[in-house]
């Protein structure tokens, strides 16, 4: 148990910064970019031992809630809230270029994802639909992005897909994990439609299919993030931002690529905004304000990973878990899971000590 104590001490030791980190993009086991409030963007190139401050000049009031890194030198950052912007750097953060902005009242950028140079960004507040996308190819070479409507080219096709023009629909801007590319032309997203969490699979400009996510309707409640694995398993996490310790209705899972969703048998221990999985799908991790949980059965059942508070987003790359919120850290997965196994042995031992073999 000494290792767990060290992890807790280390993470708590780096907490306490004024910034809140919401965006995380891991390039490899050594390089990661993190973004957050007060115009903050930081980067590590040595596995988290040290972090560089790469804040874009003139954007100190922006809340960069999502970031996507292509390499140690190239990255895109997105700010949420009114006057949302998208910035890009191609020289390691020395210079940032604004490639998109939306100054219209009520507009809100929520999340983005990039796949093979193609960008998908979702947001709220344009026209009646309140959902739109920015879609661009060769984004690394693109200095000007244009927005267009998400679902319909005309009113008739909009109705055919089951959406009313006056529907109250939006996204949660939490950890940047509510939109994901699943192929060259297809992506998935989890909007809130009439206060109900939905999962939609979109091809081009039209919905392939959609399904209801079994989250309880409540204030600021529903799905905040999801991850769809290539083996068709997936997990969506959420709850209520105002009830971080409530365990009811905080996650659900799918085994058919999102066509149907089932409430988890054992829920994560509170509201969760970040979700990630190992590339083989054997380990899943979710995180939120009161701690982090893990699953080894495709998200059906969750156990506490650690109770360190203040995290918003997580990512698994190789054998490492990266996590960020009030601080940022990289932790070896096998060490964390070893601690959990030892803790379970101690709890099951009558004398409170591990049995000898």
* Ramachandran area for residue 195 (φ above 0: left; ψ -120 to 50: alpha; else beta): left
Q: What is the mean pLDDT of residues 56-74?
A: 95
Report how far residue 66's alpha carbon sits from residue 79's, in angstroms, rounded to the nearest whole number. 7
> Is residue 253 in a domain?
yes
Worst-scoring range by mean pLDDT, 31-45, 54-68, 145-159? Answer: 145-159
Element (H, E) at 345: helix 333-348
Worst-scoring range by mean pLDDT, 35-49, 69-83, 312-326, 342-356? Answer: 342-356
Helix orientation angle between 333-348 and 2-13, rounded to the nearest 10 degrees? 130
Res 133: pLDDT: 66
> Is residue 56 in a domain?
no
Res 129: pLDDT: 46
Structure tokens at 6: 């060290």
Q: What is the mean pLDDT of residues 91-95?
A: 97
Report how far residue 199's alpha carbon sits from residue 252's, in angstroms, rounded to the nearest whole number. 12
Percent of the residues in the chain that have a pLDDT greater than 90, as a whole number: 50
Res 350: pLDDT: 47
Worst-scoring range by mean pLDDT, 19-33, 99-113, 249-263? Answer: 99-113
- pLDDT tens digits, 224-234: 999 999 889 99
Report how far residue 307's alpha carbon sits from residue 288's, in angstroms, rounded to the nearest whole number. 10
Distances from the Cα of 349 to the Cα of 337, 342, 353, 355, 357, angstroms? 19, 11, 6, 7, 13
Question: In degrees rounded to 5, what are phi and psi of residue 5?
Answer: -60, -40
- Three-state SS at 346: helix
What is the separation, in whole angstroms, between the first and last Cα of the chain? Answer: 18
Report how far residue 161's alpha carbon sits from residue 206's, in angstroms, rounded to the nearest whole number. 8
Report how far residue 151's alpha carbon sits from residue 133's, in angstroms, rounded to the nearest whole number. 9
> Is residue 326 in a domain?
yes
Report how far residue 246's alpha carbon sits from residue 267's, in angstroms, rounded to the nearest whole number. 10
Instruction: Give residue 166's Cα distance to chain centre.
Output: 28
What is the number of structural domains in the chain? Answer: 1
Res 318: pLDDT: 87
Structure tokens at 138: 């060769």
Residue 10 has pLDDT above 70, yes or no: no
Domain coverage including residue 236: 1-16+213-349
Res 163: pLDDT: 53
> Is residue 287 in a domain?
yes
- pLDDT tens digits, 148-196: 544 444 444 444 555 554 455 678 888 889 999 998 888 999 988 777 8
Residue 354 has pLDDT above 60, yes or no: no
Res 136: pLDDT: 75
Q: At which residue do the structure tokens 């990255």 appear? A: 75
Q: What is the mean pLDDT of residues 33-49?
A: 94
Cross-strand bridge partners of residue 101: 85
Worst-scoring range by mean pLDDT, 150-159, 211-220, 259-268? Answer: 150-159
Res 94: pLDDT: 97
pTM: 0.86
Res 159: pLDDT: 46
Worst-scoring range by mean pLDDT, 6-15, 69-78, 309-318? Answer: 6-15
The closest alpha carbon to 117, from 167, 177, 76, 63, belongs to: 76
Q: What is the mean pLDDT of residues 197-218?
A: 88
> Is residue 175 in a domain?
no
> Is residue 243 in a domain?
yes
Q: What is the mean pLDDT of residues 134-153?
A: 67
> Is residue 152 in a domain?
no
- pLDDT tens digits, 287-323: 999 999 999 999 999 999 988 888 999 999 988 999 9
Mean pLDDT (the chain) is 82
Contact present, 32 and 75 (Cβ < 8 Å): no
Res 59: pLDDT: 96
> Is residue 281 in a domain?
yes
Residue 91 has pLDDT above 60, yes or no: yes
């Amino acid at each position: 148990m000494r290792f767990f104590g060290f992890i807790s001490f280390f993470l708590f030791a780096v907490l306490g910064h004024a910034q809140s980190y919401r965006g995380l993009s891991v390039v490899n086991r050594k390089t990661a970019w993190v973004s957050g409030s007060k115009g903050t963007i930081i980067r590590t190139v040595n596995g988290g031992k040290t972090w560089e401050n790469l804040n874009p000049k003139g954007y100190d009031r922006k809340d960069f809630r999502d970031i996507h890194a292509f390499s140690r030198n190239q990255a895109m950052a997105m700010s949420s809230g009114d006057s949302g912007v998208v910035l890009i750097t191609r020289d390691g953060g020395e210079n940032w270029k604004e490639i998109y902005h939306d100054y219209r009242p009520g507009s809100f950028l929520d999340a983005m994802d990039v796949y093979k140079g193609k960008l998908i960004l979702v947001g709220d507040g344009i026209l009646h639909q309140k959902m739109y996308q920015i879609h661009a190819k060769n984004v690394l070479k693109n200095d000007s992005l244009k927005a267009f409507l998400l679902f319909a080219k005309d009113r008739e096709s909009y109705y055919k897909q089951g959406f009313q023009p006056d529907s109250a629909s939006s996204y949660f801007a939490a950890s940047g994990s509510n939109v994901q590319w699943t192929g060259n032309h297809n992506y998935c997203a989890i909007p809130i439609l009439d206060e109900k969490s939905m999962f939609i699979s979109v091809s081009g400009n039209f919905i392939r299919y959609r399904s209801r996510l079994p989250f309880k309707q409540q204030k600021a409640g529903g799905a905040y993030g999801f991850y769809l694995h290539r083996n068709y398993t997936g997990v969506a996490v959420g709850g209520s931002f105002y009830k971080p310790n409530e365990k009811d209705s905080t996650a659900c899972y799918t085994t058919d690529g999102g066509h149907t969703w089932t409430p988890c048998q054992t829920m994560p221990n509170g509201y969760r905004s970040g979700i990630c999985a190992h590339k083989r799908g054997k380990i899943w991790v979710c995180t939120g304000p009161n701690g982090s949980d893990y699953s080894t059965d495709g998200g059906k059942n969750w156990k506490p990973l650690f109770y360190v508070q203040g995290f918003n987003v997580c990512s698994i790359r190789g054998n490492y878990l990266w996590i960020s919120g009030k601080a940022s850290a990289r932790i070896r997965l096998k060490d964390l899971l070893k601690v959990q196994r030892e803790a379970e042995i101690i709890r099951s031992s009558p004398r409170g000590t591990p049995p000898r073999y």
